[in-house]
Amino acid sequence: MKIWKISIVVTLLGLMIAGCSEAETKLIDSAPSANTSQTNHEDASAQIEPAKPAAQTKEQSNDPTQLVELDHLKVSVNKNWTVQHGLDSVSFSEGNNPIGGIDGLGYNESVDRLIPNQSEIVDQKELEDLPVKAYQVTTKFDTTSDKQPDQVHVYLLLKDQKVVYDLHFDSGSIDEKEIVDIAKTAGMK
């Protein structure tokens, strides 16, 4: 009698294991593959796609800017720039030349902790008349070489969202006034 009960238990366990294995296979088969283009923030290897131009009305067609939106920020930039979106970041290029971008960083009020690694602060000032606390910082990447251009950063500190956005451009790629003007268009989402 015991062998019969053991036989039934073993059979039921085998069916349960086979059913779980089949369900797991179906789950894996139905999961998106690496070739599927999607914007999932958990997938760090997501495809970076150029921004698609927004539909324009007659009133907007004369506007020399385009709206760029990130997780917690929106700004207006030159409509002739190519905008590439990443994860809470964008890069800008003019023609085939990269000129700058915006990166979302972890919140920190210390500018020294926000600058790129191996960079040195050349100039720093707090910007006035912006909707958020902001600093304009010029950095030199490699202090032993003049081959790397200085960079101009505008750090937009969004305290409530616990994020800092680094609006950055290679020095000389655009006028510093234009960088500040872009920062002045910043709005929180």
pLDDT at 11: 56
Strand order in the sheet with 89-94: 82-86, 89-94, 97-106, 163-170, 151-158, 133-140, 120-127
152 pLDDT band (50/70/90 cuts)? Answer: very high
pLDDT at 44: 38
Q: Any idea which of 56-65, 78-87, 101-110 has the lowest mean pLDDT?
A: 56-65
Residue 56 scores a pLDDT above 50: no
pTM of the model: 0.66
pLDDT at 60: 52
The domain spans of the chain are 1-30, 64-188
Q: CA 163, 165, 168 angle in degrees (round to 5)? A: 160
Calculated CA dihedral for residues 82, 86, 89, 94, nearest 10 degrees: -20
Q: What is the mean pLDDT of residues 169-174?
A: 90
Q: Strand, helix or coil at 42?
A: coil
Q: Any idea which of 16-20, 30-34, 151-155, 174-178 has the lowest mean pLDDT?
A: 30-34
CB 154 within 8 A of CB 125: no
CATH class of 64-188: alpha beta
Cα–Cα dist 49/71, whole Å: 16
Evaluated on CA atoms 141, 142, 146, 148, the torsion sign reads negative
